[in-house]
Structure 1
């Protein structure tokens, strides 16, 4: 039976990326104006509003009704369903998916997977699921394989500024101000579904070196699995510098121009601001 993958826009996947993929948007609010991420608010326009506007944006989860409609469409087409969501510790979106799955009829199978990740980390798990679908795996096999791979996913990011974490209340105003004065670049990861600080570096170059070191500390990249780079903001200039600085990571494994790259969307972009870079990969088994 055909398998339909449903994910949320926290994965930074786009509708149309794959014929068996549906992407449900989280909401993004600027003041009283509410948008649907990647539907009526492009990522480029989001960053323009983020930088130029006075109001700090808010994000809202995908509700159970949206999941129910997507599941119903798939079941009407005779498709089994695997729903792959952003971390349950970062959003209520996963619970919405579970609610919708529990209420779905039994016409076809419905499975829900918590990626314990977001943006590029969630994205590579969706990519892995689609690879399995293309290989003819059943929905149960896809869900089980993705769940088994969740703990192998490593996400490492480097922020260019602490301003947006400060504005969003994620760090104190005093810590944010000191960090800006010292040009501190924090490296972050997703640890058991939550954002955690890996380390801090003075200046961009030291920050990029820290990012490379963290990739190496993970024990190596499994290049037989999906890998993804991400950047926030309107320019990938800092990401290109990171790729150059970490050439030893890619040489002999993948051409630099062939590394999949995406612009990070509003779900994480709201909190990290422009100028962040990230890499997601599967650790070697």
Structure 2
């Protein structure tokens, strides 16, 4: 008997890393001009962003079907293993509901499904937390309880080059997107209570870095006993510039660097600098 950890591709943990971490990734789908791709499986990040920039139509994304979870749940049931599933926020996708339906279909109680209320870098931090707790010998049920308590401490901010993609995808109001396009204004979004919202605006990228730093250090600040995850979409330039500016101030000597994949990239576009961390108690 063992504990199996499953997440979805919006954690932006690629398949090679997933193998290394001994976890399973259930991919969401990206539909580009009627062509369907499994996120991170049959379209690379590079291929995706190349298509995104030149495409007239914004791609759409689709949650996994319950049937994508069932083989993993059936296998665990047959072996008597425990399962922990950590999904993208239920307010951003139906992925959590698909996992719940699959559990009901398999009729196996030792499956613990956690709605992360976050996505991408924030989701990845929770998955890595689950791995750490598993390696410490904690039971699946206890890990799930710990994640439910811990997920409210996950903070995720992202500095975008433009609000164009969020506007196209209907994730923010038209007025917010319009204001973001004026006078070289750079938006910073956050995931709060499972939803995407506009956290701040700044003039130019340098102003954006400064505002991002303010947001990260406000309230209770970074819990240094936990991991930090910094990410980028398509190109690392903006992320590198932020790290160079604040490496010493934020003590960024040990962090996880992660590319942001196609499902999240559909809504944020290229040039993102994302920052996820656990807030102090």
Shift in Å, 1:170: 3.6
| Distance in 2 of aligned mates of 1:44 and 1:135 | 36
Shift in Å, 1:269: 0.5
Name the SS for the 1:250 alignment partner.
coil
Aligned twin of 2:264: 268
| Distance in 1 of aligned mates of 2:24 and 2:111 | 14
- Assess if the C-alpha contact under 8 Å between 1:71 and 1:104 holds in 2: yes
Number of residue pairs aligned between Structure 1 and Structure 2: 279
Name the SS for the 2:49 alignment partner.
helix
| Distance in 2 of aligned mates of 1:196 and 1:179 | 13
Matches within 5 A, 1:122-133: 122-133=123-134
String of CA shifts for 1:61-118, please: whole Å, max 9, x gaps.
0111111122122333432100100000000000011111122233x61100000000
| Distance in 2 of aligned mates of 1:126 and 1:10 | 11
Taking structure 1 as the reference length, what is the TM-score of the superposition? Answer: 0.92
String of CA shifts for 1:209-237, please: whole Å, max 9, x gaps.
0000001003221122121001111x101
- Mark the runs of 5 or more structure 2 residues left unpaired by the alignment: none
Matches within 5 A, 1:1-285: 1-16=1-16, 17=18, 18-106=20-108, 109-171=110-172, 176=177, 179-233=180-234, 235-251=235-251, 254-255=252-253, 258-285=254-281
Aligned CA distance change for structure 1 residues 86 and 249 (closer, same or farther; 3 Å): farther
| Distance in 2 of aligned mates of 1:143 and 1:49 | 38
Shift in Å, 1:174: 6.8
| Distance in 2 of aligned mates of 1:222 and 1:181 | 35
Instruction: List 4+ stretches of structure 1 deviating above 6 A.
Output: none
Name the SS for the 1:222 alignment partner.
coil
Name the SS for the 1:157 alignment partner.
strand
| Distance in 2 of aligned mates of 1:51 and 1:110 | 40
| Distance in 1 of aligned mates of 2:173 and 2:216 | 28
| Distance in 2 of aligned mates of 1:220 and 1:152 | 11
Taking structure 2 as the reference length, what is the TM-score of the superposition? Answer: 0.94
String of CA shifts for 1:118-164, please: whole Å, max 9, x gaps.
00011100000011111111110111111110101011111111221
- Mark the runs of 5 or more structure 1 residues left unpaired by the alignment: none
- Assess if the C-alpha contact under 8 Å between 1:226 and 1:281 holds in 2: yes
Name the SS for the 2:230 alignment partner.
strand
Q: 59-68 or 72-81: which moved more?
A: 72-81
